[in-house]
Amino acid sequence: MRKIKICGLFRDCDIDYVNEARPDFIGFVFAKSRRQVSVVWAEAMRPRLKSEITPVGVFVNESLEKVAKLLNDNTIEMAQLHGDENENYIRELKTLTNKPIIKAVRVLSEEDIVSGQHTVADFLLLDNGAGGTGESFDWSLVSQVKNQEQNQKPFFLAGGLMADNLEQAILATSPYAVDLSSGVETDGLKDRAKILEIVRRMHNG
Ligand X SMILES: O=C(O)c1ccccc1N[C@@H]1O[C@H](COP(=O)(O)O)[C@@H](O)[C@H]1O
Q: Among 124, 161, 195, 198, which residue interacts with ligand X (rule: CB under 6 A)? A: 161
Contact 3/205 with Cβ under 8 angstroms?
Answer: no
Q: Among 64, 117, 160, 201, which residue interacts with ligand X (rule: CB under 6 A)? A: 160
Contacts of 163 (CB under 8 A, 6+ apart): 183, 194, 197, 198, 201
Using CB under 6 A as the binding rule, whether residue 165 contacts ligand X is answered as no
Contact 15/44 with Cβ under 8 angstroms?
Answer: no
Using CB under 6 A as the binding rule, whether residue 23 contacts ligand X is answered as no
Contacts of 73 (CB under 8 A, 6+ apart): 43
In angstroms, rounded to a whole number, what is the distance separating the alpha carbons of residues 163 and 161?
7
Show the binding pattern over residues 103-142: x = contacts ligand X (CB under 6 A), - = does not: ----------------------x-x---xxxx--------
The H or E element containing residue 72 is helix 64-72
In angstroms, rounded to a whole number, what is the distance separating the alpha carbons of residues 82 and 101?
11
Name the active-site residue from 14, 16, 84, 127.
Answer: 127
- Closest contact distance (angstroms) between CB of 179 and ligand X is 4
What 3-state class would DSSP assign to 181? Answer: coil
- Closest contact distance (angstroms) between CB of 44 and ligand X is 20
**How far apart, in Å, are the Cα atoms of 203 and each of 26, 125, 178, 195, 200?**
15, 20, 12, 12, 5
Q: 13 an active-site residue?
A: no
- Closest contact distance (angstroms) between CB of 35 and ligand X is 4
Q: 84 an active-site residue?
A: no
Using CB under 6 A as the binding rule, whether residue 190 contacts ligand X is answered as no
Q: How many residues bind ligand X (CB under 6 A)?
A: 26
Show the binding pattern over residues 169-188: x = contacts ligand X (CB under 6 A), - = does not: ----------xxxxx-----
Contact 107/117 with Cβ under 8 angstroms?
Answer: no
Using CB under 6 A as the binding rule, whether residue 29 contacts ligand X is answered as yes
Q: Which residues bind ligand X (CB under 6 A)?
A: 7-8, 27, 29, 31, 33, 35, 58, 60, 80, 82, 125, 127, 131-134, 158-161, 179-183
Q: Which positions are annotated as active-site residues? A: 7, 127
